[in-house]
Amino acid sequence: MPTASLSRWTMSYFAAALAFLLAAEALAVAGIGYPAAGLAEPATLVVVHLMAIGWLSLAMAGALLQFVPVLVSRPLAFPALALPALLSLVTGLLLLCGGFAVLAGWINAPLDLLPLAAAGLLVGFALIGLMLGATLFNVRPVTLFSRFILLGLACLAATVLSGAAFAALLAGRGGWLGAVALLPDGLPFHALLGFGGWLGLIAFGVSYKLFVMFMMAPEPPARRVLPVMLLAGLGLALASGGLVAPFAGFEPGTALVVAALGLLVLASGFYGRDMLALYRGRRRKALEINMLGSLPAFAALGLGIVLLPAAVAGGATDGLIAALVFLLALGWLGGLTLAQLVKIVSFMTWLETYAPRLGRGPAPRVGDLVAMPRTGWWFLSYYAGVAGGGAALAAGGATGFRWAMLFCLAGTAGIVAELARVRRLSEIKAADRPVAQERPRMLLARIDQRSPSHVDSRRIASPRA
């Protein structure tokens, strides 16, 4: 197992991501977006992009900046780009929401906000890709784990570029596309590459590594994991083909969306098999909150990914399709991310605070930094909201959806408060806390102290953790 290191800006990425999640949930509670508005209306696009870019993408980027160097045993390439990338992404997202607000008639401003937003997001994600790609390519041979990340980054590039084209069209600046009609037929493929490739595929790859470490399970052989990447890669290649088909004069139809989803279903099936094998083979028998909180996320993945292709092929109502996408986005990706954030934040806080003190006195376990069972109740509120929200969307109940999102908002706010308590070491007895100047900062990792990079991750991942 590789040695542990710290990413200076990861906590800032997490804080921004959680702030955007709370904002998106609050808008949903207020009745902004679907189902009160149409799926393609600007109000819905605001909420969707706050979730996809603000919450999930920023959280994913922050986690990768921390764990890619650890898992490939190489320092992060160009670490000074982490802050400019974060600022570019936040600025781009705010401009994007401003552009959608102009389209909705909420504010009076030029639609050129949309191309400016696309430029900011392109720069931010390009910097993320440069840091991660250069780090991964610094290892030879390129490992299977690295290929998951690299394929996900390729999907991210396609998603951002297609989104930039959509922004130009909506702003009336799409003359360079000629007669090519990317909207609305390109939207399903744009979403597939973003949620299924950049977010979903990387979640698959990262969870293989993290769950092995967190559950102390034997790492699955490459031959078991390879079908997941190959099947998902084929499905995402079809989605990419759907985006470029209009440039070749073809009109991608529903059949191509269903075929891409079908391959992702098969990939998810093999992935689920491997996750079950890790669970059964774990040496840490008592599951911690990050794994317990992930179980409903896997249930949401199984239900959503199996039913979505059938719903699309059968011409199901917008409500049913929205409900299944909601389960995958907030139930699977959102729930898994929230659950793992609890472990990642406590893991990094322990590294920052107590790893340099090993051998110089007693140190708490990583799990001692988290308040249980209170954190579990917040997860229960969040997942109750996800279940209720999915049911309300399928039934077309706008009021029921708003009430369900209130449970999500309450659960998320509670989890955010618990993460802040972890950073403040609130669960540690005062006598066991370091002096004030050695305690972790809320948004920045304290890496100017004696580096903990010498600490063996096997010790951190042991039952004492």
Q: Which domain holds residue 325?
A: 290-302+316-445
Would you tell me how many other CB atoms lie within 10 Å of the CB of residue 342?
24
Domain membership flag for residue 101: yes
pLDDT of residue 444 exceeding 90: no
Q: Is residue 247 part of a domain?
A: no
Phi, psi for residue 456 in degrees, rounded to 5: -75, 130
Q: What is the pLDDT of residue 71?
A: 84
Q: Give the lowest-confidence range in 19-23, 66-70, 321-325.
A: 66-70
**What count of residues does the chain have?**
465
Does residue 456 fall inside a structural domain? no
- Look at 452 and 271; give whichever has higher pLDDT: 271
- Asked whether residue 14 carries a pLDDT value surpassing 80, the answer given is yes
Exposure letters 58-79 (e unless 16+ CB within 10 A, then b):
bbbbbbbbbbbbbbbebebbeb
Residue 180 is predicted with a pLDDT of 62
pLDDT of residue 459: 45
Closest residue by Cα to residue 28 from 48, 12, 3? 48
DSSP per residue, 243-257: HHGGGGT----HHHH
| 3-state class (DSSP) for residue 3 | strand
Neighbour count for residue 397 (Cβ, 10 Å): 17
Lowest model confidence (mean pLDDT) among 167-176, 184-193, 216-225 = 167-176
Cβ atoms of 363 and 459 within 8 Å: the answer is: no
Both tokens of residue 218?
């034997």
Using 50, 70 and 90 to split pLDDT, how confident is the model at 19? very high
Average pLDDT of 317-344? 96
Q: Categorize the per-residue pLDDT at 462 as very low, low, confident or very high, splitting at 50, 70 and 90.
A: very low
* Domain assignment present for 420: yes
**Total domains, the chain:** 2
Q: Which of 33-42, 328-337, 350-359, 454-463 has the lowest mean pLDDT?
A: 454-463
Q: What CA–CA distance (Å, rounded) separates 122 from 157? A: 8
Looking at the domain assignment, is residue 218 inside a domain? Answer: no
214 pLDDT above the threshold of 60 = yes
Q: What is the pLDDT of residue 182?
A: 76
Q: Which of 102, 117, 140 represents a domain boundary (last residue)? A: 140
CB 462 within 8 A of CB 31: no
Tokens of 120: 């900011």
Report yes or no on whether pTM surpasses 0.75. Answer: yes
Q: What are phi and psi of 442, to 5 degrees?
A: -70, -40
pLDDT in tens, 204-213: 999 999 999 8
Picking from 140, 167, 192, the residue at the C-terminal end of a domain is 140
Q: Residue 456's beta-bridge partner residues?
A: 3
Report which DSSP code applies to 287.
Answer: -
**Taking residues 432-460, what's their average pLDDT?**
64
Query: Angle at CA 117, nearest 5°, toward 326 and 443?
Result: 70
Write down the mean pLDDT value for the chain: 91
Distinct helix (H) and strand (E) counts, the chain: 17, 0
In the listed set 140, 167, 191, which residue is the last one of a domain according to the structure?
A: 140
> What's the distance, Cα to Cα, between the start and end of the chain in Å?
15
> What is the C-alpha separation between 295 and 297, in angstroms, rounded?
5
pLDDT of residue 358: 75
Alpha-carbon distance 407 to 381, whole Å? 5
| Cross-strand bridge partners of residue 3 | 456
Do residues 68 and 149 touch, judged by C-beta distance below 8 A? yes
Sign of CA dihedral 243, 321, 383, 409: positive
In this structure, is residue 224 part of a structural domain? no
Residue 150's pLDDT band (cuts 50, 70, 90): very high
Structure tokens at 431: 């006598």
Answer yes or no: is 70 within a domain: yes
In a domain, 175, yes or no: no
89-133 pLDDT, tens digit each:
999 999 999 999 999 999 999 999 999 999 999 999 999 999 999
Q: Which residue spans within 401-462 are E strands per DSSP?
A: none
Specify whether the CB–CB gap between 108 and 190 falls below 8 A.
no
pLDDT surpassing 70 at residue 139? yes
